[in-house]
Structure 1
């Protein structure tokens, strides 16, 4: 565990903030490191944070990957810093949102913030993220995770909003504006750290296996999340009310560990994968989702096994299993810490297996392992894979829209090269190749 002021064996002091930035490559090997300006900005920011806080000696104000030593396990260090820092500071630039490394850092921290929110049922707010402009980015180019922050950069000064920190640090006449903007950013970092107090994450998570929070360039992708669960009005015999609410969307299978409905937590995580999310109740929208034809968007069904006590819902799951709908991934939470889970586990597991048997076949679509997803942490780790599978199957089955007008002839690979004609017979390929070779020789002579 990383703790502030830790000095025990194997422990590292936790940084106050994590500076995430995209490396700028050199134009020529003899050029100076273009990232030196980021390091200078980082040092100035650390100095202000130290003055504004009571951090003890030896505790770093921030984390920057340039501080890591050669041969050091960089994935382990990044994972530890992201699991323990109090604030995440993404440094926006045109390269930032095209960097998979930066997207992975954003996803790891934002998922940690989502877990904290699920446990505490706190307001979403900034989630411990304080963005900064290295180079201004048009709002239309921001991915969903960044667009939702709605941060007012002009609060740090008009020159900062127009030029970013890179412009302020490079232009001498803007030196005062640079100092002012860095100081205001430091104050904002300290304020957010004191307001949020995000619980530590897992420092040993598989950082290299984490997805990026940034999708491909262009319009945000869509994802439809459907919930099939009980509500207070239709609980089966022997099932308590603690994990439920007035509607299926209130279902919280990991109660009392978490304080939020699972649908809300799933929305937070999927949005951090750069998707626009729509949430609905599967039972109410089953006819649309199961209707024949190509998909309108990838989907995710979150299934409460207790809901299968109802014959109508069991039939809906059988229809989903029998239909060719692999673009709807299925996740099945099952909290074994729930004292009521063991009573009917075998029966409800069998009902689930029978309804979704087709999902075990290749191309049948994603589904959770038969034992179910036991914890919120396990659910969050499995969710990106389910979303990725739904997107893959959607791409394979979605309708295509070729351009209007007459089609052009498609070039073919011929024995004598690439062209539109019939080409030479295969038996003359060697002669044609020899003729071309002789012609080439004559031209060189």
Structure 2
């Protein structure tokens, strides 16, 4: 385990794994708890993990939300468990990927892994993911959201019967009892191996759980998001700008170095993928013709803006065009690192330029933009990104071209005097109004009623 050692809250109560599952509701209040079998599976899994490790007394093998005591703050306990656990175990079922709570749990944990990698701690050559999925009920591949599809976990390695039936089938069918015991044991071994081979730093145990976005988008075709960057490069810098955070291409811009070790656009793209999008990564100078093309948008977008790029005439012209042409489905994020040695002397000037070119976005309907001072740390960037993505998606839906469904059209129902129907042969009900309008026969020719009708 990495991070703090000795006497920290993580050492005292960090669960080896977090079991994330979708609750099954009762059909009738008198029915047995339908989650009984999940609880049985969880206890069996904890027993194996305890036997396979040297966990000291008081350190839980796992965390499951039904283990919380009445009156205990469930949001606080969930946040702590997600911040401290070593391995995340999502229990797949058709209900799981429709659960907003499960989607929040997935994103909160996966963000720890993305941050870990961006801080230079993911380059140890290990390809082991800290997310170890388990099948409660098998889910077809086409129904998996992007974050789950990208895991590419081989469930058949726990046995063909497990891959076909999931833990629910194995635990309910007596003739598969041995396969159940074997699959639970192999899952426990996998959890322990991943925990020992990976080393995630702890997350924020005080994070507002309800503010965490879901990693699962709506059912249907995969959503797309353009993530583009407008930044300087080491070969084309303003006169008073050093090249420490730049590469030969704008996509290599890393404003938060030395705290971060990989380009910001790669970090952002990974976070957006964990919100269930297919991501198109590019450079805004090359993408502008497509992203700013007239007409309805092709996809929502995210622009990462380097203020130093606004010191060039071309960079400023591109952002002015974005702001003036009403493209609210492209959110603008403005990172700024005050520990950068060049920032202090030019911060006020560059902030003024940025505020000027982005002035049309001072109203929310014009599109999302970062606060005036910029995003001063990687943590601030992480917190802002889901809001920027949500705003871009909302504006995209409001402006995107819509298409009628395929197939023959059906007549729309007409509002008839007696109600809603498709025909004209429905008898008209007597008018019950007391303020009756004269019939046409009662109105004289050329009356105001004729003209208005």
User: What TM-score do the two structures reach when normalised by structure 1?
Assistant: 0.91
Give the corresponding residue for 1:264.
266
Give the corresponding residue for 1:138.
140
Moved more, 407-416 or 270-279: 407-416
User: 1:4–1:412: structure 2 CA closer, same or farther, 3 Å change rule?
Assistant: farther
1:53 aligns with 2:69: no
1:86 aligns with 2:86: yes
Q: Give CA deviations for 1:126-154 in whole Å, capped at 9, x if unaligned.
A: 54100000111111110000000000000
Q: Give CA deviations for 1:368-406 in whole Å, capped at 9, x if unaligned.
A: 111101111111111111111111111111112225799
Question: Counterpart of 2:217 in 1: which secondary structure?
Answer: coil
Give the corresponding residue for 1:443.
none
What is the Cα deviation at residue 294 of structure 1?
1.1
Q: In the aligned structure 2, how far is the partner of 1:7 from the partner of 1:267?
A: 33
1:100 aligns with 2:100: yes
What is the Cα deviation at residue 410 of structure 1?
3.9
Moved more, 295-304 or 10-19: 10-19
1:368-379 equivalent positions in 2, closer than 5 A: 368-379=370-381
Kept after mapping to 1: 8 A contact 2:119/2:260:
yes
Q: Give CA deviations for 1:404-429 in whole Å, capped at 9, x if unaligned.
A: 7997654455665335779999x945
Give the corresponding residue for 2:332.
330
Give the corresponding residue for 1:175.
177
Give the corresponding residue for 1:437.
none
Kept after mapping to 2: 8 A contact 1:5/1:13:
no
Q: In the aligned structure 1, how far is the partner of 2:231 from the partner of 2:51?
A: 51
What is the Cα deviation at residue 241 of structure 1?
1.8
Q: In the aligned structure 2, how far is the partner of 1:139 from the partner of 1:40?
A: 27
Kept after mapping to 2: 8 A contact 1:3/1:12:
no
User: 1:151–1:403: structure 2 CA closer, same or farther, 3 Å change rule?
Assistant: closer
Q: Give CA deviations for 1:185-211 in whole Å, capped at 9, x if unaligned.
A: 111111111121100000001111111
What is the Cα deviation at residue 238 of structure 1?
2.4
1:154-233 equivalent positions in 2, closer than 5 A: 154-233=156-235
Give the corresponding residue for 1:26.
26
What is the Cα deviation at residue 120 of structure 1?
2.0
Q: In the aligned structure 1, how far is the partner of 2:8 from the partner of 2:354?
A: 50
1:43-442 equivalent positions in 2, closer than 5 A: 43-123=43-123, 125-403=127-405, 410-411=412-413, 413=415, 416-419=418-421, 428-430=431-433
Kept after mapping to 1: 8 A contact 2:12/2:58:
no
Question: Counterpart of 1:372 in 2: which secondary structure?
Answer: coil
What is the Cα deviation at residue 430 of structure 1?
2.1
User: 1:292–1:429: structure 2 CA closer, same or farther, 3 Å change rule?
Assistant: farther
Kept after mapping to 1: 8 A contact 2:93/2:137:
yes
User: 1:74–1:358: structure 2 CA closer, same or farther, 3 Å change rule?
Assistant: same
Q: In the aligned structure 2, how far is the partner of 1:115 from the partner of 1:179?
A: 36
Kept after mapping to 1: 8 A contact 2:329/2:392:
yes
Q: Give CA deviations for 1:238-294 in whole Å, capped at 9, x if unaligned.
A: 222221112111111110011111111111110111000010000112122222111
Give the corresponding residue for 1:436.
none
User: Number of matched residues?
Assistant: 431
User: 1:320–1:54: structure 2 CA closer, same or farther, 3 Å change rule?
Assistant: same
Q: In the aligned structure 2, how far is the partner of 1:429 from the partner of 1:237?
A: 82
Question: Counterpart of 2:227 in 1: which secondary structure?
Answer: strand
Question: Counterpart of 2:345 in 1: which secondary structure?
Answer: coil
User: 1:429–1:307: structure 2 CA closer, same or farther, 3 Å change rule?
Assistant: farther
Q: In the aligned structure 2, how far is the partner of 1:3 from the partner of 1:67?
A: 26
For structure 1, the residue ranges without an aligned partner over 5 or more in a row are: 434-445
Give the corresponding residue for 1:441.
none
Q: In the aligned structure 1, how far is the partner of 2:435 from the partner of 2:168?
A: 59
Q: In the aligned structure 1, how far is the partner of 2:365 from the partner of 2:426?
A: 39
